[in-house]
């Protein structure tokens, strides 16, 4: 029990001073996690495809005393990811954490969806994670200090859904990729990689689902022991935990953040 000291416990969930890249930082979840990391003392690089939105979020965080910068880029394009990681290293010396919060879906039945449309979902939600993990892990390996990779997957990674042959397939692939990457990266290089698997949470795209009188909302509640749909803030604690020393023994995990959806 010699390692359990007051200082160790006080710093158990600390990410202060770490450099974190957050993809999808203009979205509901990405902006929430970026703000949480920044307020927790991390130096945050926000990235996404909308330069104007990134600038606005970065300005708001800086006005609150946070350390952050932004750079636009597409996580499914290797050259863009290389550029993002280089930008982070140039600004803050190293990369310790990456939280992948980007995503895309265009629901459509297989009989209506073209192969190109399906491939676009796969590239945005699965291929991008491979590219990010590859580029970031190479940087972390060069640093020699390990690191933490946190991937946003989905509750839909474990169950199919009509119109979701692209999205469910991509997220199922992400979960298995996380498990496989842990076998590649953790023991040898000290890089822990885990996924957060959220249920539906409030965003511009899902706001319509939050009408409590609607059949969609009522149907969701039948499978949600927590009694409500998610908010972006519901995933902040798990995102910080998986980036902190408190999760040092956890890797290759797909963490249920579904409000109990997987239990029913």
- Pick the closest to residue 88 from 2, 150, 158, 19 (CA basis): 19
Packed helices 165-189 and 115-122: angle between N→C axes, nearest 10 degrees: 30
- Residue 208 CB neighbour total at 10 angstroms: 10
- Pick the closest to residue 135 from 187, 88, 199 (CA basis): 88
Task: Answer yes or no: are the C-beta atoms of 232 and 201 closer than 8 Å.
Answer: yes
DSSP letters, 142-207, are HHTS-EEEEEE--GGGSS--TT-HHHHHHHHHHHHHHHHHHHHHHHHH-EEEEEEEE--B-STTTG
Three-state DSSP at 70 gives strand
Residues 70, 167, 255, 261: which is the catalytic one?
167
Q: State the alpha helices, DSSP H only, in 42-153.
A: 51-63, 78-92, 115-122, 128-143
> What residues are paired with 67 via a beta bridge?
43
Task: Check if 164 is active-site.
Answer: no
- Residue 139 CB neighbour total at 10 angstroms: 20
Residues catalogued as catalytic: 167
């Amino acid at each position: 029990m010699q390692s359990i000291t007051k200082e160790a416990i006080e710093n158990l969930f600390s990410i202060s001073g770490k450099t974190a890249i957050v993809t999808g930082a203009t979205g509901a979840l990405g902006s929430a996690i970026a703000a949480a990391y920044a307020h927790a003392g991390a130096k945050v690089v926000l990235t996404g495809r909308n330069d104007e939105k990134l600038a606005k979020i970065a300005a708001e965080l800086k006005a609150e005393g946070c350390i952050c910068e932004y750079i636009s880029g597409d996580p499914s394009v290797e050259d863009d990811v290389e550029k993002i990681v280089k930008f982070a290293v140039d600004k803050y010396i190293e990369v310790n954490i990456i939280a992948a919060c980007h995503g895309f879906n265009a629901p459509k039945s297989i009989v209506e969806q073209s192969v190109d449309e399906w491939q676009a979902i796969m590239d945005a939600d699965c291929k991008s994670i491979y590219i990010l993990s590859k580029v970031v892990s190479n940087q972390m390996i060069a640093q020699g200090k390990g690191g933490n990779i946190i991937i946003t997957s989905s509750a839909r990674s474990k169950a199919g859904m009509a119109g979701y042959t692209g999205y469910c397939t991509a997220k199922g692939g992400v979960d298995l990729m996380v498990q496989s990457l842990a076998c590649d990266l953790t023991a040898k290089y000290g890089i822990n990689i885990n996924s957060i698997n959220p249920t539906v949470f409030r965003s511009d795209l899902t706001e319509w689902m939050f009408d409590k009188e609607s059949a969609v909302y009522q149907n969701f509640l039948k499978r949600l022991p927590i009694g409500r749909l998610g908010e972006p803030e519901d995933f902040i604690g798990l995102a910080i935990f998986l980036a902190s020393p408190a999760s040092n023994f956890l890797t290759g995990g797909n963490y249920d953040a579904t409000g109990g959806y997987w239990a029913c």
